[in-house]
Structure 1
């Protein structure tokens, strides 16, 4: 794998009983790129993200992050599943921001951001708190550090979730429809933070329906349907001159 490829997926397949959620999905993401994945609900986008960070086990195929095969070790021609401890180590390098925030309700914003660095990375609490406060400042929430999630708007909670993902110093952040649970007037504050993160060179894979964000920020766009990659390429090409009639139909329908 070339050094500028951070994520490489080959023929990733995943079924839930008789339903094939992913059907031979292949994708490459370069370091520092923003890769947006779009498509109708149920097309496999979120399942693919969950396979990248091993929240779901793929049935077939392989995914590499940073030249490391995810979830398995290879011995000759054989693959062996990694133990939970090794999977946790691999997952540590990948941040994930969910649709529904997933903050700890009994912890303040700063405590939520500190949790991973203290518990997983073993940072001293004082250092983790200092870094967490700096991250909250970066996402525009310096004044909310001691607020609990119930005291924050949805947009503020999602910005805390982004700061929490950044606190683990990941190589890659996965965003699973990060604005879909937000009131429309709160969407832009989250997208602005994501734009800043992209400008800083963070590698991001973003499942989204926000075509404006994809058009303005993404390097590549991938359109998925029925568990398959229909089309992938530079964002300007896929969004402005898609090769697939189905891609063009989808983009017209969700244009924003």
Structure 2
């Protein structure tokens, strides 16, 4: 079995500032990978590189065995066209920190938009699929509601349904609960647990360590734009080997104790 995502010595700069250094990660089909680490460690940037919302300057990233963003002809590297990048991106679905729903569309219309416009699905088929997905995320009775009439947790669940409607093979979650009030976090994590249980390949940037411990097959700890430690949850979260990982986890525990 080949990796669905493979980063090989991947690097990324913003101007003179290098935000990702020599990232090497393989993500297998059906694997749930949680990326954790302090703010500013490059977690979101790496996720955006997978979805080609950011370009990479060093190394390579492969999606389902295909080099992303570029092609090599006669030892010359060429940037792909926007149309070619859109084709590569189609196997991924992404859920952002902010819900990014179309405010002038109902929940149902938001979920139908991609399948009808991009996948060219028949509207009735797209509607049936969208209604099924809204029911799956617990919002079958809010299909006609506009985003400003939904709670943050409900909006995020619509966003998950919208991403699933595109029939992705890979789901990317960028801190999907960070913009939610504490009492709404659980409902979104519950939907994500259900998605993970279907065997969907998932890469999740999160600060919810208990959730990561529960659902992840692999934890990737990042700091200062580098992968510091990788392994199963029981290793990285319970018995970390690297001093930087230990310091981060100790700070998380201390913060929780202070909050209590």
Could you say which residue in structure 1 is the equivalent of 2:181? 183
Taking only aligned residues, the RMSD between alpha carbons, in angstroms, comes to 1.0
Q: In the TM superposition, what is the alpha-carbon distance from 1:77 to its structure 2 partner?
A: 2.8
Q: Is the 8 A contact 1:71 1:81 kept in 2?
A: yes
Could you say which residue in structure 2 is the equivalent of 1:213? 211
Could you say which residue in structure 2 is the equivalent of 1:20? 18
Alpha-carbon displacement from aligned partner over 1:207-229 (angstroms, at most 9, x marks no partner): 00000111000000011111111
Could you say which residue in structure 1 is the equivalent of 2:72? 74
CA distance in 1 between partners of 2:232 and 2:73 (Å) = 36
Determine whether 1:134 maps to 2:132.
yes
Among 191, 194, 217, the alignment partner of 2:192 is 194
Q: In the TM superposition, what is the alpha-carbon distance from 1:24 to its structure 2 partner?
A: 1.0
Could you say which residue in structure 1 is the equivalent of 2:237? 239
Among 52, 55, 60, the alignment partner of 2:53 is 55
Using the size of structure 1 for normalisation, the TM-score is 0.97
Q: Is the 8 A contact 1:209 1:254 kept in 2?
A: no
CA distance in 2 between partners of 1:181 and 1:132 (Å) = 24
Runs (5+) with no aligned partner, structure 2: none
Could you say which residue in structure 2 is the equivalent of 1:105? 103
CA distance in 2 between partners of 1:140 and 1:29 (Å) = 29
Q: In the TM superposition, what is the alpha-carbon distance from 1:4 to its structure 2 partner?
A: 4.0
Runs of 4+ residues over 6 Å off in structure 1: none
Q: In the TM superposition, what is the alpha-carbon distance from 1:236 to its structure 2 partner?
A: 1.5
Could you say which residue in structure 1 is the equivalent of 2:86? 88
Task: Tell me the number of residue pairs that the alignment of Structure 1 and Structure 2 aligns.
Answer: 254
Runs (5+) with no aligned partner, structure 1: none
CA distance in 2 between partners of 1:246 and 1:197 (Å) = 31
CA distance in 2 between partners of 1:76 and 1:231 (Å) = 37
CA distance in 2 between partners of 1:102 and 1:252 (Å) = 34
Q: Is the 8 A contact 1:221 1:232 kept in 2?
A: yes
CA distance in 2 between partners of 1:95 and 1:63 (Å) = 17
Q: In the TM superposition, what is the alpha-carbon distance from 1:100 to its structure 2 partner?
A: 0.3
CA distance in 2 between partners of 1:99 and 1:76 (Å) = 41
SS, match of residue 12 in structure 1: strand
Q: Is the 8 A contact 1:211 1:254 kept in 2?
A: no
SS, match of residue 46 in structure 1: helix
CA distance in 1 between partners of 2:201 and 2:229 (Å) = 21
Alpha-carbon displacement from aligned partner over 1:124-169 (angstroms, at most 9, x marks no partner): 1111010000000000000110000000000000000000000000
Q: Is the 8 A contact 2:2 2:65 kept in 1?
A: no
CA distance in 1 between partners of 2:32 and 2:179 (Å) = 21
Could you say which residue in structure 2 is the equivalent of 1:171? 169
Alpha-carbon displacement from aligned partner over 1:63-109 (angstroms, at most 9, x marks no partner): 11111111112224332111110001111111000000000000000
